[in-house]
Structure 1
Amino acid sequence: MASTIISAKYPPNIDPTRTPLAYGDRAIPRLNRELNDENLIVRQRAVMSLCDHLHDPEHIAEALRNGIGVSLKNLLKDDDITVRQKATECLFVMAGHALGRDSFLENETIYPVARLFDDSEDIARKNAHLCVMRISETPPGAEGIVQAQFVQVLVKKLQTELNEIKELILDTLHFCMRVDTQSALDASAMEAFTSLLKHELPVIRAKAARDIMDLSVPLAGKDRAVACGALPLLRDMLKDPTMEVRANSAGAIMTITITTKGKYTAIHAVSIPPLVDLVDDVNSEVRLNAIKALTCLSEAPEGRQELLKHVDKIRKHETDHIPAVGKAAEIAVKVITWLP
């Protein structure tokens, strides 16, 4: 199915000529002055030159010392889309380095960036989500996003945003849930992720299944996954032609079925046969997650009875060339063949 691609091209009436850089250590101070100039063309050229200049990591520390972070924060409110677009792009580049991330959090730049989630221009929204996603990749950044109470905003945006941006939001929430799952549960994230399991794009289905696995780590998340009907949809995705979808779906089932309620819901949803089929999958991550999920299901008497028919198939993988898969197969065989 065709998908909308967000264009980063500039409007035809915008002069893309970058402002000439001053020599040596005068370059950044001059750019900083021009970023705050009243003339729109001057601001546009300055922010374009700055974006190129910052791709050299050596210039990021100097830029921060000269107050570039504060100037970019102010430009996020500029009326011109080109200025907003390039300002968020500069922040994204800076957020790829520890100093830039620290500055992002210290200056509370996350708040004006988050306001761009509602921007009328697709590219401004995409760049804003790129910035937040990059910040979320480290625990302090993820904690900052959670503390700013943006998890609920991100979950709501999953329902309305373009597919490109949905991918970024799913990644951001993935990192945020590593430091806090309660905010996502309170924002009904499990229901949002479950609805995306039927999305037409494999990458979104895969990331939605991964996020369900993340959110199912606490007991409340496992119960919510069962309650909102995630297991039957995850079962259907075990036959997906995309490897990431199969791996993440098996991983999500593995996490949910740790509880007794999850085990019996999966067994009643007939999840054992498709999981058994994945034991011989060509991808090691798929094999590992499938075997671990079957181990969880075999802890229930009904699951053990069914899996005794397939124990030889699992036993073959005790000598798998991937040590983790071999170890998981050994544990699975012991659990399945256990006698009181």
Structure 2
Amino acid sequence: MAFTRISAKYPPQIDPTRTPLAYGARAIPRLNRELNDETLLTRQRAVMSLCDYLHDPEHIATALREGIVESLKNLLSDPDITVRQKSTECLFVIAGHAIGRDAFIDHEIIKPVSNLFNDSEDIARQNAHKALEMIAETPNGAEGIVTCELIPTLVDKLKTEHDEIKVLILDTLHYCMRVDTSKALSSGAMKIFTSLLSHELPIIRSKAARDIMDLSVPLAGKDKAVEEGSVPVLVDLLVKDDSPDVIANSAGAIMTITITTKGKYTAINCNAIEALVKLVNHQSSEVRLNALKALTCLSEAPEGRDVLLLFVDSIKERTEDSVPAVVNAAKIAVKVITWKP
């Protein structure tokens, strides 16, 4: 004889941690209403559903029109970690779209998101940094971060944050330094970037070298790099590091620093020429290019030219390189090295 069995479990298509979505155009308005509900469980379920819903690009514009960004902005200060975490994740998804990045500026979201840099939960801080890194990729976003005076905070966080977050911060600073380097210089960024050149992770060493290159664009940055002892560490990476990205960015940083006379002689005294000459035949075209450009800068000093005349034949071989940019850099290097007054 058969018996009816009644299960207390939800049907497989129902997730109790997410609020059910309303049909069609009513989905976003309902979620927006529930995001502002006084009941914690309602807010949690709504923000969980919204996070999944926004991964469909077609829903971004609708969400912005319905005021979702303003609701998420309010939730950033919610006492519940789940709400804060998923709110920052929603904002990160929104920031992946051009109209979403504009919304960050229009609704002044940058500062509220930065308040989560001191959150007790790692995931909330990571999501906050991911959102701002995405925003920083646009000139307006980077300028907004600089205007909010967040550069000193970001630089300071490089001392204490986890490695995953350090990577995000280095990227954010990279974009922001395209807009303004003075705030980073005055915050002691060069010293911190230099210390990160000896980090165990290649990705952090690479991004630190790249950021030194960015920070060395103005004259004050070049002088600061020499003052903080960045050049010897960069030269050491050219010789000992195995990562092509680290080597390429280190050569690029040396290239930028050695535009000044002080930078040239500092690099020459650190045996940078010998290290760079060995890289002109490197398998990575970026390494070859940056090495040739750095050697060109060093050959402008008489002492550098005297040494490089011994290696000019090796550099001439790069004029037949398969990469046009490398060919052009090699031609310029040969021309400068063989120049006679």
- TM class by shorter-chain length? over 0.9
Residue identity over aligned pairs, in percent, reads 71
2:219 partner amino acid = L
Q: Who is 2:42 aligned against? A: 42
SS of the equivalent of 1:309 reads: coil
Q: Who is 1:316 aligned against? A: 317
SS of the equivalent of 1:279 reads: coil
* Gap regions ≥5 residues in structure 2: 1-14
Q: Could you list the per-position Cα deviations for residues 288-311 of structure 1 after superposition, in whole angstroms to 9, with x for gaps in the alignment?
A: 000000000000000000001100
1:99-138, aligned counterparts within 5 Å?
A: 99-138=99-138
Alpha-carbon distance in structure 2 between the residues aligned to 1:135 and 1:16: 33
Q: Who is 2:245 aligned against? A: 244
Q: Who is 2:139 aligned against? A: 139
Q: Who is 2:259 aligned against? A: 258
1:59 partner amino acid = H
2:263 partner amino acid = G
TM-score, structure 1 as length reference: 0.95
Q: Who is 1:274 aligned against? A: 275
SS of the equivalent of 2:18 reads: coil
Q: CA deviation at 1:183?
A: 1.1
CA pair 266-16 structure 1, distance change in 2 beyond 3 A: farther
Q: Who is 2:170 aligned against? A: 170
Q: Does 1:66 align with 2:66?
A: yes
Alpha-carbon distance in structure 2 between the residues aligned to 1:55 and 1:277: 47
Q: Who is 1:31 aligned against? A: 31
SS of the equivalent of 1:265 reads: helix
Q: Answer with 1 or 2: which has the greater Rg.
A: 2
1:298 partner amino acid = S
SS of the equivalent of 2:21 reads: coil
Q: Who is 1:92 aligned against? A: 92
Q: Does 1:290 align with 2:287?
A: no
Q: Who is 2:8 aligned against? A: none
Q: CA deviation at 1:73?
A: 0.4
Q: Does 1:299 align with 2:300?
A: yes
Q: Who is 2:20 aligned against? A: 20
Q: Who is 2:54 aligned against? A: 54
Q: CA deviation at 1:287?
A: 0.2
Q: CA deviation at 1:58?
A: 1.5
Aligned residues: 326
SS of the equivalent of 2:96 reads: coil
Q: CA deviation at 1:192?
A: 1.1
1:293 partner amino acid = A
Q: Could you list the per-position Cα deviations for residues 65-103 of structure 1 after superposition, in whole angstroms to 9, with x for gaps in the alignment?
A: 111001000111111111111000000000111111111
Alpha-carbon distance in structure 1 between the residues aligned to 2:18 and 2:304: 66
Alpha-carbon distance in structure 2 between the residues aligned to 1:60 and 1:30: 15
Alpha-carbon distance in structure 1 between the residues aligned to 2:108 and 2:27: 26
Alpha-carbon distance in structure 2 between the residues aligned to 1:61 and 1:29: 13
Q: Who is 1:8 aligned against? A: none
Q: Who is 1:149 aligned against? A: 149
Alpha-carbon distance in structure 2 between the residues aligned to 1:137 and 1:40: 34
CA pair 189-338 structure 1, distance change in 2 beyond 3 A: same
Q: Could you list the per-position Cα deviations for residues 116-167 of structure 1 after superposition, in whole angstroms to 9, with x for gaps in the alignment?
A: 0000000000000001100000000000000000000000000000000000
Q: Does 1:327 align with 2:328?
A: yes
Alpha-carbon distance in structure 2 between the residues aligned to 1:128 and 1:305: 52
1:196 partner amino acid = L
Alpha-carbon distance in structure 2 between the residues aligned to 1:66 and 1:254: 50
Q: CA deviation at 1:17?
A: 2.3
Q: CA deviation at 1:16?
A: 6.2
1:252 partner amino acid = A
1:155-194, aligned counterparts within 5 Å?
A: 155-194=155-194
Q: Who is 1:232 aligned against? A: 232
CA pair 16-124 structure 1, distance change in 2 beyond 3 A: farther
CA pair 251-16 structure 1, distance change in 2 beyond 3 A: farther
Alpha-carbon distance in structure 1 between the residues aligned to 2:32 and 2:133: 26
CA pair 109-331 structure 1, distance change in 2 beyond 3 A: same
